[in-house]
Chains A and B, each alone.
Chain A
Amino acid sequence: MIPLNSTNINKPLKEIEKRIDSYPAMPAMCQHLIKSCEDPDVNFKKLVDEIRYDPGITANILKMANSAYYGSSRRIESLQTAMVRLGLKQISEIVIAHSVADRLVKKLQGYDLRPEELLKHSVWVAIAAEDLANVLHIKPPAMLFTAGLLHDLGKIILDDYILDQREALLKATGNNGEDKISFDIVEHQILGINHSEVGAQLLENWNFPEELVIAVRYHHAPTDPDIEYDPSAAMVHIADMLAYSVGIGIGVDGLQYVSNPEVIERLHLKPIILEGVASRTLEKMEELKSLLVG
């Protein structure tokens, strides 16, 4: 964590914290499904009955289950069949993705992101992080996709403050020359908190699992001394850096983020591996994004 020294504490922080606390929680079903995924004795039939009560969620699950994205070949008519076919993990990912898509789809004026850009970026990171685990033959952490999807949630809250402080932020990033500072560090310096910390705080408030909170909080600092090596944070970090590299969701922050050399070494990453991930992810991102907002 970046130490909060006394000179950094300024007015917006208190206001930002208030906004975090009043930001509407995700639908209760999201958390219920995450818990169910972790429960080996989950009562599947009961869960199907609970979901059925929500026609919106049911319709979304059926739409996704019947999409090419999830490799559907035969038409699935019932929720039960969809849930068996896709499995609980994917069902929970779908429900969370649908619940968060509306929030990520908006234009962010402060970050200079056009409508849908943050959603595309989030979907990209979710898909690329899983693809990266796959190509490196690492068993993907259970919540990796969702961690990718939610990693920049904090930007929604910070956006107004980024707009207010844009000049100070740009000045502090050291726009000329070699001494550029990572944008998340500048956010923390100017606003007293950065988008990773805001996102993690939101997830904590919603009682989301610690695994998710850590991956979101440390996605720009995956080897922070405060945590043990966290594969989710590490893979979300690389997928995020790749998204910035290829220009998915870059705005006023540009490509001003620092890649973590320890993670790069630990995962034995090579440019050709990343280029493969990028080429596979682009198309899937468009497909999934259209399913979420179409």
Chain B
Amino acid sequence: MGQIVVGISDRKISRNPADTLITYSLGSCLGITVYDPVAQLGGMMHCMLPIAGADREKAKANPFMFVDTGMATFLQELFDLGVTRKNAVVKVCGGARVLDSKDLFRIGERNFIVFRKMMWKNGLMIAAQDVGGSSARTMFLEIASGIVSVKNGTKISELK
């Protein structure tokens, strides 16, 4: 009960209305929330890298490190718990980048491309997003209301 912290390469799911899921320090990583108002549960995932091809062994041990294997596993878990494609509200933030003229550190952009592909594959729409730029973000999901807020730099606002 209370604040549940989602670490890097992790996900948490809750149906307890007293819970708020939080993930800190989103840089190029993506924070992804899925909330189903009918099934009355929500989940949050924090993925670091776009594709499991970067390290297949790690992906087996921890699918949530990568957006592709993370989304596949996370969505399956949620569907198993009664979330439906029709009711799922998916929000995403993060995908920032350092100031990089060589386009080497485009991890965030690649993360978001893979995320959109996984959404499309699963017939899901993005309800709201706050991605890109170069600021650190923290993401919150209140299980009672489904409200998602984002602290971007020093400002907190609702993501809708």
Least CB distance from A59 to B in Å reads 29
Contact B24 A259 (CB under 8 A): no
Q: Does B38 contact A (CB under 8 A)?
A: no
Query: Which of A245, A256, A269 has the most CB atoms of chain B within a 10 A radius of its CB?
Result: A245
Contact A282 B65 (CB under 8 A): yes
Contact B25 A250 (CB under 8 A): yes
Q: Which residues of B contact A279 (CB under 8 A)?
A: 48-49, 54-55, 58, 65
Task: Write the chain B residue with the least CB distance to A258.
Answer: B99
**Within the complex, which residue of A255, A261, A265, A283 is in contact with B27, where a contact is CB–CB below 8 Å?**
A255
Q: Does B50 contact A (CB under 8 A)?
A: yes
Can you give 15 contacting A-B residue pairs, CB < 8 Å?
A: A170-B154, A241-B105, A246-B27, A246-B29, A254-B134, A254-B135, A255-B27, A255-B28, A255-B134, A255-B135, A258-B98, A259-B104, A261-B101, A271-B104, A278-B107
0/1 string, A267-294, CB within 8 A of B gives 1? 0011110111011101100000000000
Q: Which residues of B contact A208 (CB under 8 A)?
A: none
Q: Which residues of B contact A257 (CB under 8 A)?
A: 98-99
Task: Write the chain A residue with the least CB distance to B27.
Answer: A247
Least CB distance from A15 to B in Å reads 25
Contact B134 A245 (CB under 8 A): no
Q: Which residues of B contact A251 (CB under 8 A)?
A: 136
Least CB distance from B120 to A in Å reads 22
Binding site for A on B (CB under 8 A): 8-9, 24-29, 48-50, 54-55, 58, 65, 94, 96-102, 104-108, 110, 134-136, 153-154
Once the chains are docked, how many angstroms separate the CA of A85 from the CA of B157? 53
Least CB distance from B157 to A in Å reads 15
Q: Which residues of B contact A269 (CB under 8 A)?
A: 104
Q: Which residues of B contact A280 (CB under 8 A)?
A: 55, 58
Q: Taking chain B's interface residues, is the majority helix, strand, or loop, or is none over half, making it mixed? A: loop
Least CB distance from A184 to B in Å reads 11
**Within the complex, which residue of B8, B50, B134 is in contact with A282, where a contact is CB–CB below 8 Å?**
B8
**Within the complex, which residue of B55, B98, B102 is in contact with A245, where a contact is CB–CB below 8 Å?**
B98
Q: Which residues of A contact B49 (CB under 8 A)?
A: 246, 275, 278-279
- Decide yes or no: A250 and B136 within 8 Å by CB, A245-B98, A271-B110, A278-B49 being known contacts: yes
Q: Which residues of A contact B25 (CB under 8 A)?
A: 117, 247-250
Once the chains are docked, how many angstroms separate the CA of A140 from the CA of B97? 27
Least CB distance from B87 to A in Å reads 30
Query: Which of A117, A255, A272 has the most CB atoms of chain B within a 10 A radius of its CB?
Result: A255
Once the chains are docked, how many angstroms separate the CA of A276 from the CA of B49? 9
Q: Does A236 contact B (CB under 8 A)?
A: no
Q: Does A244 contact B (CB under 8 A)?
A: yes
Least CB distance from A21 to B in Å reads 32
